[in-house]
Structure 1
Amino acid sequence: MGYDVLGRDDEPLSPTGKLFLQQDLYEVINCVMGLETSIDVEAIKVELKESAMIEHPRFCSLLVRDQNGNEYWRKTQVDLDKHLIVLEGRVGEGDDEEEIVNQYVADLAVSSPLDTDKPLWEFHCLMAHKCGVLRFHHALGDGISFMSLFLACCKRVGHPNQSSTLVSSCPSNLSKKSHSKSKVWNFVMVVWYSFLYITNFLLKTLWIKDRKTAISGGAGVELWPRKIAIAKLRLEDMKAVKRAMAGATINDVLFAIISCGLSRYLHYRTPKVQEGLKVTGIAMVNTRQLPGLQELSGMMRRFSKSRWGNDFGVYLLPVHCNESVATSLDYVKRAKEMIDKKKLSLEALFSHFVLAITTRLFGSKVTSFLYYRLVCNTTFLVSNVAGPQEEIRFAGHIIKFLRVNTSSLSHALQVNMVSYAGRADLQIMVAKDIIPDPEFLAKCFEESLMEMKDAATKLQS
């Protein structure tokens, strides 16, 4: 990218946007859509031309740099022919359609940056596989922002004039009607847990590294070849487990599944692994004042409490592997207790603040260095974005499934969940030279959920 003279209407990038442009943390989000019918490229082109996506300021702006190396957004005319990438033939060998698409997306995650000569998004049409891959740079926005924009471009199947029903957000852990004594105690807990978790965050960033295991990555692993497997979960099964544990959320159940599944997998790979071994995951947390997905029009308002962009922090979530548990529901209980404490703390807000202030004071390269160390010192990444509860159609194509991943990090394991129309698919992306059997790991996650569901059914009967 060359240097440009700054224009009057050019808009500077946010600190997070600058972070995701750094080489070590270059992040592109890949959204995979399985379609029921063959792809009509012209219909997609017409839909995009008339959609909110083309009108959105981030999706019709070029990334430019001034003479000082500062990045800006500059409005431009969108040429859809440059953004639609049509692949007529098969993109891989073999008979397993899902495996072929997974490998195509895994390859995109390692070696396919977006062209800066156009706005930072593109749509890949895999004609032979009835599949589309919508790619956009993380500097444009986060998963919450993108899902809100994408749903504004879709229609409900059978109800074309109705918008999709979004999954309701989780209630707050702190009751507004609590007595003064409870408020004082809650304040003490907020201070204590914030101190514990922020201290741990700083130590993880600067010094303490997870012990080496069969799923550990490290510096340089972001360049290693990737492989993808899918753990296919039912949202109703996760809700059944959630109902068995008072006050639990889907995120609690998700992390319990990951904890149980990773314990199984590590025991399989290294049967003599020390009991009590702990590995750490990075979980992306929405830090907007209004949780959950919002209507796009609301996110675009100037003083919105759920604004568009990258508005997230992180939780560091430890997984205690191979510890003895009485039942599989103990994983849910432990996950809920830990995440409730995380919610009381200011860890997510602190990590968000550190990113912004460090970038402003020392530049995005320093922030990139610190966050790269944090990723290298932890073991895996997990994210969860709630999608629509009903089936939707895009440009006349009914969508069978939605799956998401991002560009590879120095983690050897990334787990991204998107719920859609009763499904809750976990896209498991691994460095295949470190984790050669992600299909078995996916099976570990699936079996963990089924055991939790069976235990929940027995508990409630």
Structure 2
Amino acid sequence: METPPSEEESRKMKLSPAARLFQSPRFNCYIVSIIGCNSTIDPEVIKDGLTRTLFKHPRFSSKLVVDDGKFCRRRRWVRTPVNLDDHVFIRILGSKIENPDQFVEDYISHLTTTPLDLSKPLWELHLLNLKTSDSESLGIFRIHHSVGDGASLMSLLLACTRRTSDPDALPTLPAPSKRPPPPDSGDFSVRFLRFLMAIWSVITLIWNTFVDVTVFAATILFLSDSKTPIKGPPGVELSTKRFVHRSISLGDIKFVKNAMNTTINDVLLGVTQAGLSRYLNRRYAQIEKDEGTNKKTNFLPKKIRLSSTVLVNLRPTVGIQALTDMMAKNSKAKWGNLLGYLLLPFNIALQDDPLDYVRQAKATIDRKKHSLEAICTYLCARFLQKIFGVEPPVRFTYVRRRARGRNVAGAGAGSKGASQQGITRGEDELAGPMAKLAISGGEFSFNLPSFCVNLLGSISIGIRACSSSGPCCGMGDLGRGDLERPEWAIQSGPPSTSVSEAWWYVRILVESHIAKITAATARRAISNTTVAFSNMMGPLEEVSFYGHQISYLAPSVYGHPHALTIHFQSYVDKMTIILAVDPNVIPDPQQLFDDFEDSLKLICEAVIKQGLNKETV
């Protein structure tokens, strides 16, 4: 009879594949979210609010545990009591700080040098009652990326806020625009034309997907961005990052959007391309001036290849109301990282017409919308994990049976255990040596290689006799592979077998953690690009975080192999640009902000000059 699971085991939750990816050593990512407030923060009010809301979310009240097996480690989320003082840090700051903005930058930058404590839930909140240029105080959330994706975490934080004008009402987010359906027509020619357009749409979808997936695969294998002054060196993910932000007018962005019949994402990408082109031109100009080159205006090399990696959340973002109900009523809502990748190429050049940046951005985004690249990259990663696994689901036992006159070895934990783990038995046949073999004087009797879905290979070798100096002596059980040593082990012992002779066996384990392989694949795809880029929509009206009116929101991320990460976050009537930079690569992020602002200004002026705004008046 099977024993029922204990209460502790029933409270354990598996990590999603993306969560395991973000836990890998070379892809250890964190999310940082800065919340600026218009008033001094009352720590006790914040603590009381967190107890009533955020602490009830499973991921914010669960710690990461590692169950050690004989050959594997299983990582699980386990619900645990949350101690406020372990997660909320109140910094008492004096009033004699000369440059508060610089102090905040240094404070957040220092946070990137220390990991979160795995013995408690992987998040923390730092409260700083320090007046800066754009807030009276601020809170700094630091959350491990394995807890959730950026969009879900932002929705969760907004579910903890209320409208400033109505303390009982949740924030209002911009509704996604939907294209109205075409009017129904009984004309046969119109229907036939729509049918042809639908066929052409499917063909272009397949072609775009094929091209994008091919380019993505090439990027993993060999295709890399051009070496530019903003591309990080190897190991940039381990360097200390600095986080800076600046707000621009959301009205100006909407003005360009309406005048050119585009989307806000089109305008933001156009402004980014224009700003990066100006910034790189200045950096190349400085290099050539140092070399004594003659005067010119365009210093950009020809055909610069510069692209961005964009993480796409394939799961529909959980609504604020659903998250509020989950925290208030313990109702269930889908949560976790369900991420795909896509590569977004940037056009880096000095354009005579500033509007060309927006037109090029619109063409790029429209094409990406008509592609299944993000879904395909997710499915490929999922396929690797299904085939190879992330951690061994069962321990190895060996079943010898007679089939077609020969011995066949199987890997698994018996048919019952295999079926419970979703393992399908299979057979394979390998050609062996024709001559007899021996190891340390012991003649081979049988050789049983096996392979499990987690890339944990095993070779069992039966030996009729083993010398005292052979590999069978004093091996013991070396257990699972360890990151501190080569990932193989030799084990010896008398197996359970019906063969009349006394067998000894040597089992060589070659353990290859698929989390490393998946992380290395994702890391290579990202390290061969230059920029991380994202945009998130914020509330349409002013909101308060447990009674503290918010002045701005500034989320970002670190731990991935990029020297430059660009985030756009809207809030009421402004758009905040957040940069996470490696100061050794980009020592002047404020200059990059100036280039973004100047580019938006030039685009707005070009719209007015060309008379495109008349239709929107």
TM (normalized to structure 2)?
Answer: 0.69
- Residue 357 of structure 1 deviates from its aligned partner by 2.5
Q: What residue is the counterpart of 1:63 in the other structure?
A: 64
Q: Is 1:198 the equivalent of 2:244?
A: no
Distance 1:137 1:367 in 2: 18
Distance 2:381 2:542 in 1: 37
Counterpart pick for 2:564 among 413, 429, 444: 413
Contact 1:231 1:446 in 2 (8 A): no
Residues 241-285 of structure 1: per-residue CA shift (max 9 Å, x gap): 111222x21111111111111100110000333133121111222
Counterpart pick for 1:39 among 32, 38, 41: 41
Q: Is 1:451 the equivalent of 2:606?
A: no
Distance 1:143 1:395 in 2: 21
Q: What residue is the counterpart of 2:383 in the other structure?
A: 357
Counterpart pick for 1:224 among 239, 261, 279: 239
Residues 292-332 of structure 1: per-residue CA shift (max 9 Å, x gap): 9653349969xx9x94221232221111212x534211111
- Residue 162 of structure 1 deviates from its aligned partner by 1.6
Counterpart pick for 2:282 among 234, 246, 268: 268
- Residue 176 of structure 1 deviates from its aligned partner by 10
Amino acid at match of 2:83: D
Q: What residue is the counterpart of 1:84 in the other structure?
A: 88
Amino acid at match of 1:232: S
Contact 2:123 2:143 in 1 (8 A): yes
Question: What does 1:289-438 align with in structure 2 at a 5 Å threshold?
Answer: 290=316, 295-297=321-323, 307-322=334-349, 324-362=350-388, 363-438=514-589
Counterpart pick for 2:157 among 150, 161, 173: 150
Q: What residue is the counterpart of 2:441 in the other structure?
A: none
Distance 2:219 2:163 in 1: 44
Classify the secondary structure of the residue corresponding to 1:399. strand
Structure with the higher fraction of residues in helix conformation: 1
Contact 1:173 1:340 in 2 (8 A): no
Q: What residue is the counterpart of 2:226 in the other structure?
A: 211
Task: Give 5+ residue unaligned stretches, structure 1.
Answer: none
Distance 1:347 1:211 in 2: 22
Aligned length: 448
The structure-2 alpha-carbon separation of the partners of 1:96 and 1:193, relative to structure 1 and needing over 3 Å to count, comes to same
Bigger Cα Rg: 2
Contact 1:106 1:429 in 2 (8 A): no
- The answer to which of 221-230 and 173-182 deviates more is 173-182
Contact 2:307 2:529 in 1 (8 A): yes
Contact 1:241 1:453 in 2 (8 A): yes
Q: Is 1:186 the equivalent of 2:201?
A: yes
The structure-2 alpha-carbon separation of the partners of 1:50 and 1:286, relative to structure 1 and needing over 3 Å to count, comes to same
Q: What residue is the counterpart of 2:175 in the other structure?
A: 168
Residues 397-451 of structure 1: per-residue CA shift (max 9 Å, x gap): 1111110111242211111121112121111111111111111011111111111
Distance 1:312 1:355 in 2: 10
The structure-2 alpha-carbon separation of the partners of 1:94 and 1:330, relative to structure 1 and needing over 3 Å to count, comes to farther
- Residue 29 of structure 1 deviates from its aligned partner by 0.7
- Residue 148 of structure 1 deviates from its aligned partner by 1.7
- The answer to which of 450-459 and 165-174 deviates more is 165-174
Counterpart pick for 1:115 among 106, 114, 117: 117
Amino acid at match of 1:66: D
Amino acid at match of 1:387: G
Distance 1:317 1:425 in 2: 21
- Residue 132 of structure 1 deviates from its aligned partner by 0.6
Amino acid at match of 2:174: V
Distance 1:138 1:229 in 2: 20
The structure-2 alpha-carbon separation of the partners of 1:226 and 1:174, relative to structure 1 and needing over 3 Å to count, comes to farther
Q: What residue is the counterpart of 1:17 in the other structure?
A: 19
- Residue 219 of structure 1 deviates from its aligned partner by 2.0
Residues 100-126 of structure 1: per-residue CA shift (max 9 Å, x gap): 222322332x31221111111111111
Distance 1:11 1:291 in 2: 20
Contact 1:168 1:292 in 2 (8 A): no
Distance 1:24 1:176 in 2: 52
The structure-2 alpha-carbon separation of the partners of 1:453 and 1:294, relative to structure 1 and needing over 3 Å to count, comes to farther
- Residue 186 of structure 1 deviates from its aligned partner by 0.5
TM (normalized to structure 1)?
Answer: 0.91
Distance 1:89 1:320 in 2: 45
* % identity of equivalent residues: 35
> CA-atom RMSD, angstroms?
2.5
Residues 345-375 of structure 1: per-residue CA shift (max 9 Å, x gap): 0011112222323233332211100011111
Q: What residue is the counterpart of 1:106 in the other structure?
A: 109
Residues 9-28 of structure 1: per-residue CA shift (max 9 Å, x gap): 31110000000011111111
- Residue 137 of structure 1 deviates from its aligned partner by 1.3
- Residue 127 of structure 1 deviates from its aligned partner by 2.5
Contact 1:28 1:113 in 2 (8 A): no
The structure-2 alpha-carbon separation of the partners of 1:423 and 1:212, relative to structure 1 and needing over 3 Å to count, comes to same
Classify the secondary structure of the residue corresponding to 1:66. strand
Contact 2:20 2:146 in 1 (8 A): yes
- Residue 456 of structure 1 deviates from its aligned partner by 2.3
Distance 1:140 1:94 in 2: 35
Task: Give 5+ residue unaligned stretches, structure 2.
Answer: 1-6, 132-136, 185-190, 286-298, 389-513
Contact 2:159 2:324 in 1 (8 A): no
